[in-house]
A and B are shown apart, each in its own frame.
Chain A
């Protein structure tokens, strides 16, 4: 039926003169939505549960959110301004994103509301086809804009959260630590993207300067995957470090990464690699001229 009405509108709709201005029609529409608030809201909440959307939330929560979304929706229709709705959408997103609500769910519920309201309009104006067409003419663009606003608000909020988290990871995950005089370690945890590789390198180079380091152990046990780009970034880091007069020892190359690197043919020949972090630190100590011996042995040496 939905489909047929639409077709009818496209054929007849244009021939109808707008006898009543859109504003007046919208007023009528808003009054209708206000009148049937309880019933439509319930219908909407029911449809949401039926469609298995917002599964992360309880029934009561869905109903409460549905109420405020409904009211905001009607208000946006009435005033024709979207700032309040935008703010509300952002606020809503902020609350529901941490609970794992997905983009398709948010878009889904707004579209459901649009359908529920359109159905109620069909039911109300089914006897006056021309008026229904004009009401829909007024309703649809506004409804589409609302759907758009909410969806965009949600996605923007999500992106903001992602950016914030990326930043947090970036700040947290690249410590340059001094283990011994002139010996730094750089444990890398997580995925290395070009941006992070750049930041890592800059931080390391600065650390070498300030700590007057001679040897750096880069531990990549915590790096899950490595492709040609990451490997090249690593090679660049090593080369830049050498220009500052320090030596790099890479430790913790997993069997998978070793295989990948050989397969894609990255030239790691100039790199110092040692199996694990302990071995790396021992090698570094050797380069620096340290020798670690148990206390007992040193007393033996003295006597």
Chain B
């Protein structure tokens, strides 16, 4: 299933609606990395609220997306990881290191806004 990517002002929002195959994930990665430049977006939000499983490949792809998009000059934030999913991920050692996370879409947008506000102000602590 292809993941719809919505443009919302300066941000791109990819909302994952169902479990994705590895190919779908790769496709999502390529589409995001391509569109972030074409649409001159400043931030990308990947919403995983609907996912109730997150395996190692998905985790790695999300990390790759974050780093690739950072190289393209934008910031990524993963939002909506479910408590159970978070717990399982940590137990499996999938930590999403270096990837900003936020509670939900609203928080994600707030985070990107803060980040864009400038490097002088101390960045949100979640983005470590």
Contact = CB atoms under 8 A, between A and B. Distances in A.
A287 interface: yes
A245 B103 contact: yes
B125 A240 contact: no
B87 interface: yes
B29 to A, nearest CB: 19
Contacts of A205: 83-84, 86-87
Interface stretch (B6-14, B31-39, B68-76, B88-96): B88-96
A247 interface: yes
A245 B83 contact: no
A212 B103 contact: yes
A247 B107 CA distance: 13
Nearest to A201: B87
Q: Which of B83, B96, B126 has the most CB of A within 10 A?
A: B83
A242 interface: yes
A84 B41 CA distance: 79
What size tier do the contact residues of chain A reach?
Answer: 20 to 34
Contact of A240 (B87, B104, B108): B87
Contacts of A157: none
Contacts of B87: 198, 201-202, 205, 240
A244 B81 contact: yes
B101 interface: yes
A243 B125 contact: no
A236 B90 CA distance: 6
A244 B86 contact: yes
A209 interface: yes
A244 B101 contact: yes
Contact of B102 (A198, A245, A272): A245
Contacts of B125: 215, 247, 272, 287
Interface in A233-261: 236-237, 239-247
A240 B90 contact: yes
A215 B111 CA distance: 14
Interface residues of B, number: 22
Interface in A189-203: 198, 201-202
Contacts of A243: 81, 85-86, 89-90, 95-96, 101
A206 interface: yes
Contacts, number: 63
A244 B91 contact: no
B91 A242 contact: no
A10 to B, nearest CB: 58
A202 B83 contact: yes
Q: Which of A198, A201, A205, A240 has the most CB of B within 10 A?
A: A240
Contacts of A247: 125-126
Q: Which of B86, B91, B111 has the most CB of A within 10 A?
A: B86
A215 B107 CA distance: 13
A270 B125 CA distance: 12
Q: Which of B84, B90, B101, B128 has the most CB of A within 10 A?
A: B90
Contact of B126 (A237, A239, A242, A270): A242
Interface in B92-121: 95-96, 101-104, 107-108, 111
B103 A240 contact: no
A237 B84 CA distance: 12
A202 B103 CA distance: 16
Given A243-B90, A243-B96, 5 more contacts: A202-B87, A236-B90, A239-B95, A240-B90, A246-B126
20 contacts: A202-B84, A202-B87, A205-B86, A209-B83, A212-B104, A214-B107, A215-B125, A237-B90, A239-B90, A239-B95, A240-B90, A243-B89, A243-B96, A244-B81, A244-B83, A244-B101, A245-B79, A245-B107, A246-B126, A247-B125
Interface of A: 198, 201-202, 205-206, 208-209, 212, 214-215, 236-237, 239-247, 270, 272, 287
